[in-house]
């Protein structure tokens, strides 16, 4: 009896960079809205907070799709790329672009491991 398990490597570098981009975007949105509300009275800093939070959450969702679901890797990479560009956060932009491109160009190679090293195939 031969047990075969598909072991698929995952794009961990793309996931880590995309995850960091989402975290930096979320933190940057909170910091930017706080500083803007203190320095510029009357500026609608709530819009800045909402936009940055939406972009950061969608970058995080894209990084999760990129890592956990091989069928939706291109969609996750596209989410990371688009919303890291739209986030208006420089660090999140750089990390998101690198992570999104790494995920978009990732080539998975499925390897099959077998518990039996003999080449016998039962009839």
**Contact present, 86 and 67 (Cβ < 8 Å):** no
* C-alpha to C-alpha distance for 12 and 107, rounded to whole angstroms: 13
Q: What is the pLDDT of residues 86-108, one digit of tens each?
A: 988 899 999 999 999 998 888 87
Q: Could you tell me if residue 97 is inside a domain? A: yes
Q: State how many domains the chain has.
A: 1
Q: Could you tell me if residue 122 is inside a domain? A: no
Q: Could you tell me if residue 4 is inside a domain? A: no
Full residue range of the structural domain in which residue 44 is found: 11-106
Q: Could you tell me if residue 38 is inside a domain? A: yes
Residue 119 pLDDT class (50, 70, 90 cuts): low
Q: What is the pLDDT of residues 34-83, one digit of tens each?
A: 898 888 888 788 888 899 999 999 999 999 999 998 888 899 999 999 99
Q: Which residues contact 87 (CB under 8 A, 6 or more apart)?
A: 25, 28, 29, 52, 55, 56, 59, 93, 96
């Amino acid at each position: 009896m031969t047990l075969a398990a598909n072991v698929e490597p995952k794009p961990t570098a793309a996931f880590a960079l995309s995850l960091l981009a989402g975290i930096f975007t979320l933190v940057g949105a909170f910091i930017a809205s706080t500083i803007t509300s203190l320095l510029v009275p009357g500026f609608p800093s709530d819009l800045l907070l909402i936009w940055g939070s939406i972009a950061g959450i969608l970058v995080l969702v894209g990084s999760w799709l990129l890592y956990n679901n091989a069928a939706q890797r291109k969609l996750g990479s596209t989410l990371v790329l688009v919303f890291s560009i739209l986030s208006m956060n420089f660090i999140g932009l750089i990390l998101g672009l690198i992570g999104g491109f790494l995920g978009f160009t990732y080539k998975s190679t499925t390897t099959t491991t077998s518990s039996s090293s003999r080449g016998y195939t039962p009839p």
